[in-house]
Amino acid sequence: AQSVAQPEDQVNVAEGNPLTVKCTYSVSGNPYLFWYVQYPNRGLQFLLKYITGDNLVKGSYGFEAEFNKSQTSFHLKKPSALVSDSALYFCAATDSWGKLQFGAGTQVVVTP
């Protein structure tokens, strides 16, 4: 069984400050981990993924995420947030091809 937890419903950050969105996972096998973003009235968009290799993965729009096996975490980070980063962010996990398990989502609000 797989599960994904996003402990924060909302994250507020001032523009220019670092942004972190937290995610922990439970996967029975080797985890494949993902971040997606949903802008208002837009479909979900893939941001980045961890499959294997380096624990720090880089993705679109300056985002990165760090895989931590001992803490079963995959937190999303951005060094300097923009107002346009305001959106709903979803962490997802799987242990095989096909079926992604999504978290409940974290709303990010970046204020000018």
Partner 1 sequence: GAGVSQTPSNKVTEKGKYVELRCDPISGHTALYWYRQSLGQGPEFLIYFQGTGAADDSGLPNDRFFAVRPEGSVSTLKIQRTERGDSAVYLCASSLQGWENTGELFFGEGSRLTVL
Q: Which residues bind partner 1 (CB under 8 A)?
A: 4, 32, 34, 36, 41-46, 49, 51, 90, 92, 94, 97-105
Which residue, 15 or 100, has its beta carbon nearer to partner 1?
100
How far apart are CB 62 and partner 1 at their closest, in Å? 19
Whole-angstrom distance, CA of residue 52 vs CA of residue 49 = 9
How far apart are CB 52 and partner 1 at their closest, in Å? 10
Which residue, 54 or 97, has its beta carbon nearer to partner 1?
97
Which residue, 15 or 22, has its beta carbon nearer to partner 1?
22
Closest CA to 33 of 42, 41, 16, 21: 21
Write the CB contacts of 29 (distance below 8 Å, at least 6 apart in sequence): 95, 96
**Are 64 and 78 within 8 A, CB to CB?**
yes
